[in-house]
Amino acid sequence: MSVMSVGDRRRPATLVHTSDCHLEKTDGGPEQLAFRAVIDMAIDRQADVLLIAGDLFDHNRVNEEIVVWVAGQLNRFPGPVVLLVGNHDSLHDASVHRRHDLRDTCDRLIMLDHPEGKILDLPGTDITIWGRAMVEHSPEFRPLANAPMGQADRWSVIAAHGLVEAEAGRSSPMSTKEISELSADYVALGHVHVHTIVHESPPTRYSGATHVHWTDTSGCVVVDFIPGEGARAQWVSVDKYLSVDVKAQSSN
């Protein structure tokens, strides 16, 4: 169900939802181009919040060069950036996020870094985001377990990285039943690389990877929170921002 009240006083807000950026190489390739383009689009649209729903990095051994580049990109966005980890950058002891804490260089970055879940009230907005940090990508990890009830005076967003309607024994499972019982205005998923509308109420989507190799598309989901109506989500191509040569540029 969606959280809705008569006389909705929540301020309108726009959230950019991306995931599965799989950043690793610093060769100015399609992953870097797409990530940079998502940031440009979010700035252009004056989005209030940028949410990354897991797999920002491709693996836990990425070198410092790409971490520094990512920090530079995130710092270009003027609002809060919320980061959930995924199975490629999960939060175990050898995690890239433990070796290189992006919060050291990104003042506006907030991490959903608690294994049991963490609620964040985002500064300057009426958006609240909850998500559980994945430590091990295993069948026991249930990304939506113990999700809190949304509050009527906040835009409630749930972020999760895993597989909806996974076969038995697959890791990080979520069920359609669980999703339909969530009390939230929007559910932001990561893990599936193709943009997918998973559920209508609450609106639930996989943003898809910032760059999808096999279709050669780059984009993310823009979510507008509209008082009295709820969340209006749309996948947006970032093709028009791809032309700049990333490698030739500094972090700006």
Q: Report the interface residues with Mn ion, using CB under 5 A.
A: 55, 86-87, 191
Please state the closest distance from residue 193 (CB atom) to Mn ion, in A. 8
How many angstroms separate the CA atoms of 131 and 151, rounded? Answer: 16
Residue 87 beta carbon to Mn ion: minimum distance, rounded to whole angstroms: 4
Estimate to the nearest angstrom the gap between the alpha carbon of 129 and the chain centroid: 10
Q: What are the C-alpha distances in Å from 20 to residues 51, 146, 162?
A: 11, 24, 11
Residue placing its CB nearer to Mn ion in the complex, 45 or 61: 61
Minimal distance in Å, beta carbon 227 to Mn ion?
33
Interatomic CA distance for residues 6 and 83, integer angstroms: 32
Beta partners for residue 90, in sequence order: none
Rank residues 154 and 191 by Cβ distance to Mn ion and give the closer one: 191
Q: Which of 131-165 are b and which e, b meaning 16 or more Cβ less than 10 Å from the residue's Cβ?
A: bbbbeebeeebbbbeebeebbeebbbbbbbbbbbe
Task: Give the shortest CB-25-to-Mn ion separation in angstroms.
Answer: 18
Q: Which is nearer to Mn ion, 55 or 126 (CB)?
A: 55
C-beta of 34: minimal distance to Mn ion in Å? 16
Q: Are 113 and 133 in contact (CB under 8 A)?
A: yes
Considering beta carbons, is residue 55 or 113 the nearer one to Mn ion?
55
Is the C-alpha dihedral spanning 208, 128, 14, 96 positive or negative?
Answer: negative
Give the nearer residue to Mn ion in terms of CB position, either 86 or 219.
86
Angle of helix 30-44 relative to helix 64-76, nearest 10 degrees, comes to: 20
Instruction: Identify how many contiguous H helices and E strands the chain contains and give both numbers.
Output: 4, 15
Q: How far is the CB of 88 from Mn ion (least distance, A)?
A: 6
- By beta-carbon proximity to Mn ion, the closer residue of 191 and 211 is 191
Can you read off the two tokens belonging to residue 251? 């972090």
CB of 12 to Mn ion, least distance (A): 31
Q: Between 152 and 198, whose beta carbon lies closer to Mn ion?
A: 198
CA distance 110 to 102: 9
